[in-house]
Amino acid sequence: MRQGFLRFYVLKLISKSESPISGYALMKKIEEETGFWRPSPGSIYPLLASLEKDGLIEYREESDKKLYSLTGDGREALERAQQAKDEAMRSVRQSIHVFGELFGEEVSDDLARLTEAGQGFQSISPQLARSLKQLRLILHAILMQRPSTAEADEIAKTVEHAIEELKNYVKDD
């Protein structure tokens, strides 16, 4: 994972935590949410020190643990990041519209649906949303690793089996 991404991911997780959270709990939470990636202590603890130095988080010590929470500056940084993401997504949607004008509406519609894929997660149970997000992340990781032919065959069998099982939940219109 890129350091800049991890920085905002950690800030977001700290902001979502109901109470101050330890570095170890953050590593476990990242692994739980992604389903496959757990940052090392060598990534998390220097990052937490940097965030604290930058005034974005603060900590209190309790039972030999540091428990982290956001500062006002940390909340503002997250808000600015969200605004930047929203602006970037608006720009992507505008580009998709132009792309559709050039190459056909169906291509534009498909791309637009992809940019809004996460939006539908708000209308389903949190457990299913987490599972679908984990599946998407794992599939993306598999694609990035470029599996061998034998691995690809095994992955294809697993995916085909899952598809057959999931078809039972697709409602016909």
Total domains present in the chain: 2
Mean predicted lDDT score pLDDT of the chain: 81
Q: Considering the domain boundaries, does residue 40 fall inside one?
A: yes
Higher per-residue confidence, 138 vs 69: 69
Number of C-beta neighbours around residue 108 at 10 A: 19
Of 114, 135, 132, the closest CA to residue 123 belongs to 132
Average pLDDT over residues 112-140: 67
Residue at 162 is within a domain? yes
Domain boundary among 70, 85, 102: 70
The string of pLDDT tens digits covering residues 2-15 is 556 788 889 999 99
pLDDT value for 84: 84
Q: Yes or no: say if 121 and 132 are a contact pair by the CB < 8 Å rule.
A: yes
Residue 92 domain-assigned? no
pLDDT at 21: 96
CATH number at residue 30: 1.10.10.10
- Please give the average per-residue pLDDT across 78-84, as a whole number: 87
Range of the domain at 11: 3-70
Is position 75 within any domain? no
In the prediction, which pLDDT does 51 show? 95
70, 86, 113: which is the final residue of a domain? 70
Residue 87 domain-assigned (yes or no): no
Separation in Å, CA 44 to CA 28, 60, 149: 11, 17, 35
**Element holding 38 (H helix, E strand):** none
Q: Where are the alpha helices (DSSP H) in 35-148?
A: 41-53, 72-103, 105-115, 126-145
Kindly tell me the number of DSSP H helices and DSSP E strands found in the chain. 7, 3
Report pLDDT for 74: 94
- Return the CA Rg of the chain: 20
Task: Please indicate, yes or no, if residue 45 is contained in any of the structural domains.
Answer: yes
Last residue of a domain, one of 70, 88, 110: 70
Region 146-171: mean pLDDT is 83
Q: Is residue 77 part of a domain?
A: no
Give first-to-last CA distance, the chain, whole Å: 40
Are the CB atoms for 8 and 78 separated by under 8 Å? Answer: yes
How far apart are alpha carbons 118 and 160 in whole angstroms? 23
Mean of pLDDT values over 110-130: 63
Lowest mean pLDDT among 6-15, 99-108, 132-141: 99-108
Report whether 70 contacts 10 (CB < 8 A).
no
The answer to whether 59 and 65 are in contact (CB under 8 A) is: no
Q: Which of 12-21, 83-92, 142-151 has the highest mean pLDDT?
A: 12-21
